[in-house]
Structure 1
Amino acid sequence: MSVIIERLAIVGVGLIGGSFALALREAGVVRTIVGVDRDPANLEQALALGVVDEIAASAAQGVRGTQMVFLSVPVCSIPGVLQEIAPALDPGCIVTDGGSVKAEIVAACQQLMPTGCHFVGGHPIAGTEHSGAAASFATLFKGKRCILTPTETTDRQALQAVSRLWQAAGAEVCSMEPGHHDRIFAEISHLPHAVAYALVHAVGTADVEGENVLSYTAGGFRDFTRIASSDPAMWRDIALMNRAALLASIDGFSASLAELRGRIDRGDGDGLAEFFTIAKQFRDGIL
């Protein structure tokens, strides 16, 4: 595959930013990748591991001379980082992001872009519970979706360029309206993380005759709650930024849990079997 971008800056060289860099390097579509990160040790490690070609002391320094910038920082930080780098962007530069909340970010970032530069909202649907440059790997996005969230004012050539890079990274690219994205991902991503954190918190603080209940956990509990090992600060920001949609999802889950509790309380075996069967059918349909 031929080079698409001569010089790309990645601000936030963690699991997502680092894996994007490695995937693009493997595909041969970017000539030079500049890394920027608030953690100097992580940035030096990214350079040593060959995740990036160069490192910069500041975001503004790192984006100079680039044709595209990928912001892979906590969602609440994205507008602030863009405001910092905006004066240093070259004419025609494209800025995109990997945040899992889109409506607020897209609205803010479009307002912050200098004339002649373009913002394209994005969200790769991939990840693990690990973080940092050392956790990145080139195949993270293979066969995964990447959602782009253009608006009526998004530059179509910029949208195409971002789409081509994600396709080169192995992702299946699709587009949707930012608010629609946030309502969907409140249900399928933000709610599951909230539930996993709440479940581990409930069990971890349970008082069962002085026993450390968590010491008895096995595969089922650990598989179900794996995502509760994710970065708490990142999920704090996501929960706050997508607050309205997440609260609606939590209310829906609470209603479902209350229905399940009622059937158990009534000793309704047929009702429980029906509840579990419907849920199993939905789960099997995913696979």
Structure 2
Amino acid sequence: MKAAPFDYIRAESIDHAIELLSRHGADCKPLAGGQSLVPMMAMRLARPSVLLDINRLAELKQVTIGADSVHMGATARQRDVEDDEALHAALPLVRDALRWVGHIQTRNRGTVGGSLVHADPSAELPLAAAVLGATMHLRSEADGVRQVRAQDFFQGPMFTAVAESECLVGIDWPVWQGGEVRTGFVETAMRHGDFAMASAACQLQIGPDGICRRAAIGMGGVDGTPLAFPEVAERLIGERMGPALARDVAHACAERTEPGSDLFADVAYRRHLAAVLMARVLLHAAVTSPQASALATTH
């Protein structure tokens, strides 16, 4: 199929883009990487009357690494983020997640903000944002900039807190300080590059004695939104990771999910798969140094 007719406008500035969004509302869709929006338009699942190109707005591509957080412009390219060693040191889970996103060719064009706004519950970057507790910056002509935590941002399958006249302009990612930070991210899909049937992610801070000092964990593809489990992660604090603990925590997470059923997997299989993957990433993170990334690079 071909996209329904639309007008194309290239924004000259953020103010110009926000003014156009305010004027056209739901009929206007920002175009960044286009890796999700353009296929949906081709299938006529999305029919904007105005396509607003924000690709050339340099201020939306900027990335600033601070002591406690990384501020990332919404149109930062996924591949640029993946290849940035300073960002990897600050946000190791984000790189782990990115290595599972589509293919190199799609990551060359895809943007971090575009993936978050698309909000597929099986997608990798939304899961990383939920696990780390990222904060989204939304801008509109009427209200200026407002901040929304990831737990409130993702509201349903491909549905977010972004209002019709708002644009995601940036993301704040927390940076963990002190101690050794270890991460794990893994998923299972029918084919390399497909969205996951289930995925699991964790970030642990391990002391020199091998005891967990801080933990964040989550699952994707098993509910209408990516899920983080801060209350379950508390069980890991003060503990040394082992197979029994990893299995207990993984099953506690899986019990809190509401996966769907389709031709590829039913509810029980998806919940079981998510538990297996969570136990795997917990053990991987607990015993693997930050320099190793076997799970992150094995598809």
TM-score by length of 2: 0.26
Q: TM-score when scaled to structure 1?
A: 0.26
Normalized per residue, which structure has more strand? 2
Higher-Rg member (1/2): 1
